[in-house]
Amino acid sequence: MDFELSAKGKAYLEKTKQFMDTEIIPIEEKFWKEVHQTCDPEDWTTWKWPEALEILKAKAKSAGLWNMFLPDEKLGAGLSIQEYAHIAEYTGRSFLAPMVFNCNAPDTGNMELLWKYGSEAQKNQWLIPLLNGEIRSVFCMTEPDVASSDATNMQATAIVDGNEIILNGRKWWSSGLGDPNTKLLIFMAHTPDSSKGHHEQHSMVLVPVNTPGVKIERMLPIFGDIDAPHGHGEVCFNNVRVPIENFIGGPGEGFAIAQGRLGPGRIHHCMRCVGAAERALELMIDRGMTRIAFGQPIIELGGNKEKIADARIAIEQARLMTLYAAWKMDTVGNTAAMTEISAIKVIAPNMMQQVIDMAIQMHGAMGVSNDTPLARFMGIARSLRLADGPDEVHKRIITRIELKKRGYGRNYQPLKGKIA
């Protein structure tokens, strides 16, 4: 097990840090202030990004800091999952950086999906514009009327009708739905087929956002933040018709494709959690050392020094576990790293939430305002404990794997009267 970066990985990481420190961090406060002033939370149809975003994207592309998440050397940076994980950590310190580098969710997962499973026609029509940063995309999976932690509950349907697919259903928490550059929706739905197994009856379908029958109903706030101009929306599909060629892979392949999509994306999420926690720890220390109460710096009060230590311990544990998961994915593949992938999805957002909470407490009332990034970081941390499967589902996966190691598989039946 070796977490040492190659010379190439080190060079990309250093260039990313330098670009963020000189180009992104200095303008970020002004950038988001402009967003909040110009984006009406009641009318997402008017949302737009500040001009500074395209300027920064052009600079990042020119510097070669573009699509660094993709291991393909022609289309991306050619970095391993573990190497990119270090870059994801540093971009996690910023709400803006992932977009500037074209390494932002959900586009990264959608691009990987098209790269791995898309046809040549699908790649030409959708992957290339996404890789160029010309458009954005959305992944439509979660539904409001069922417990979406069990994806087999899905009620939305994708029914083959001759040379077309008919789509019906309602999705919500579809991230990026408010973005003015969003042109593509990836719709996951049930394709009933009694001849196939339970997990072979779901499909992914490519849907242009302007297709007749697609109706965006609203944007959903996260703890009161509407997240403009990105947005997390609710969208209805009412007898939407698209060509049968819009299946990704084919009918019934949705679950198999989803597993390939989610693995690397969880590494990215978790390392960004580490980066956000690092920034929060820095803010916490600076606040504790410069704020005076009862005649001394507040870092001396209320067990705050111990909280600094607790934060450092938690961050290092999460980082090492996530790097281990990334290394294992690189060396033995996603399936063999299933325990570690599920584990970090629990560990990293919980760690981030814990560290952010301590940082907010150190900042007092300022910590819950928009004068620091802490409140928004907290919203992200708490939301990530639900996104891509809640904590409980990932723990269930880990437990199932552990039981199987001991011979207690899905079909195990306890023997009556047997005593251990």
Burial category of 43 from C-beta neighbours within 10 Å (exposed 0-12, middle 13-18, buried 19 and up):
exposed
Q: What type of residue is 252?
A: G
pLDDT score, position 30: 96
288 CB-side CA count, 13 A: 21
From 130, 235, 125, 129, select the one nearest 189 (Cα to Cα): 235
Model pLDDT, residue 388: 87
Closest CA to 140 of 105, 192, 183, 175: 175
pLDDT at residue number 135:
98
pLDDT tens string, the chain, 420 residues long: the values are: 788 899 999 999 999 999 999 999 999 999 999 999 999 999 999 999 999 999 999 999 999 999 999 999 999 999 999 999 999 999 999 999 999 999 999 999 999 999 999 999 999 999 999 999 999 999 999 999 999 888 889 999 999 999 999 999 999 999 999 999 999 999 999 999 878 888 889 999 999 999 999 999 999 999 999 999 999 999 999 999 999 999 999 999 998 888 766 678 899 999 999 999 999 999 999 999 999 999 999 999 999 999 999 999 999 999 999 999 999 999 999 889 999 999 999 999 999 999 999 999 999 999 999 999 999 999 999 999 999 889 999 999 999 999 999 999 878 877 666 555
Please compute Rg for the chain using Cα positions: 22
Tokens of 243: 């060509």
Q: For 107, list phi and psi in degrees, rounded to 5.
A: -65, -35
Whole-model pTM: value is 0.94
CB atoms within 10 A of CB 267: 26
pLDDT in the model for residue 416: 63
**pLDDT for residue 199:** 84
Tokens encoding 364: 């007092």
Sorted by sequence, the CB contacts under 8 Å of residue 47 that are 6+ apart come out as: 39, 40, 178, 179, 180, 228, 229, 231
**Burial zone of 32 (CB within 10 Å; 0-12 exposed, 13-18 middle, 19+ buried):** middle
Phi, psi of 233 (to 5 degrees): -115, 170
